[in-house]
Amino acid sequence: MAGNIRNVTAAIDYIESHLHEKPDLDTIAEALHYSKYYLHRMFTGTVGLTIQTYAQRRRLTEAAKLLVFSDKPILEIALTAGYESQQSFTDSFRAMYKKAPNQYREEEAFYPLQLRCVLHEKVADLEREACLWQEIAYATEADIPAWMELVHLVIDGFPHLDEGQYLEQLREYIRNRRAWILKDGDIAVGVMAFHEMTGSIDFLGVHPQYRKKGIAKAFCEKALHELVCSEAITVTTFREGDKADTGHRKTIKSLGFAEAELLVEFGYPTQRFILQKPQNGFCNHVLRKEETEGMEHV
């Protein structure tokens, strides 16, 4: 496993140093002397995204940063990001950010689609999957660095995430005992921020390297078991067909959530999903399909 992580990290390093060249799977595999089939399998299995998707999201994130924090012309930013024309860049940018580059620049509010993925070589097996929800604890101030490290890894699932504002809200969640965390040593492998009265899940993140270990299921079971003030739990995610979605909507549905109303949050189109509590107040059937498919990238 450690060897695989080192190989994927080498691929990430290559992508980061060649973003302007629009690196693809064949180019990276040849440069690193890997089989492209091996590299594709290892990268996707570890990061949760294909190399093409990861590289595109990183290029657009760096382009968005230049739009807000530089005066470079949009055409120059487009070429730097590996696009052949301003129009092709605008089309890709609008598909992900839901606004044109010039509008994004005018609003002066940078937020990333994808930050650089930093992996851990040592990943525990997390035994006793059936009892994982009992190991989830209330987060403390001391957990904030580990929590934020995980946020950086799963930021692709949370459009328009302002880190400064999020940190302020996180501290409030922790003070009010509305934040749960599951750790493997010093690593946060799962986190959830919620409102116990409304049953709303405001943030649910699972470490990409742990997404096949039943963690999302464990958090949902704990929410259904302990959030006794609400008759259901709710979460919002991408709308159907959103090109920015890397699989979060599919995962939410596999957790047993049903589609509800369409929303617009911070100017971004989303949809609410609802998971009703069973009569006995505890969910022991959630995620049967997810368990067999290994889906856990929330």
Residue 248 has pLDDT above 70, yes or no: yes
CATH superfamily of 2-107: Homeodomain-like (1.10.10.60)
Tell me the pLDDT tens digit for each residue of 253-292: 999 999 999 999 888 999 999 998 876 544 444 444 443 3
Instruction: Quote the pLDDT of residue 293.
Output: 39
Most confident of 50-64, 108-122, 157-171, 281-295: 50-64
**Taking the model in full, what pTM does it have?**
0.86
Residue 294 has pLDDT above 60, yes or no: no
| Cβ 189 vs Cβ 126: under 8 Å | yes
Instruction: Quote the pLDDT of residue 278.
Output: 75
Q: What is the mean pLDDT of the chain?
A: 88
- DSSP one-letter string for 41-77: HHHHHHHSS-HHHHHHHHHHHHHHHHHHH----HHHH
Beta strands in the chain (DSSP E): 137-138, 179-184, 187-195, 200-206, 232-238, 258-265, 268-276
Tell me the pLDDT tens digit for each residue of 40-96: 999 999 999 999 999 999 999 999 999 999 999 999 999 999 999 999 999 999 999
Instruction: Quote the pLDDT of residue 191.
Output: 98
Domain ranges, ordered by start, for the chain: 2-107, 129-293
Q: What is the mean pLDDT of residues 200-213?
A: 92
Instruction: Quote the pLDDT of residue 122.
Output: 72
Instruction: Quote the pLDDT of residue 124.
Output: 60
Instruction: Quote the pLDDT of residue 284.
Output: 44
Instruction: Quote the pLDDT of residue 129.
Output: 52
CATH superfamily of 129-293: Gcn5-related N-acetyltransferase (GNAT) (3.40.630.30)
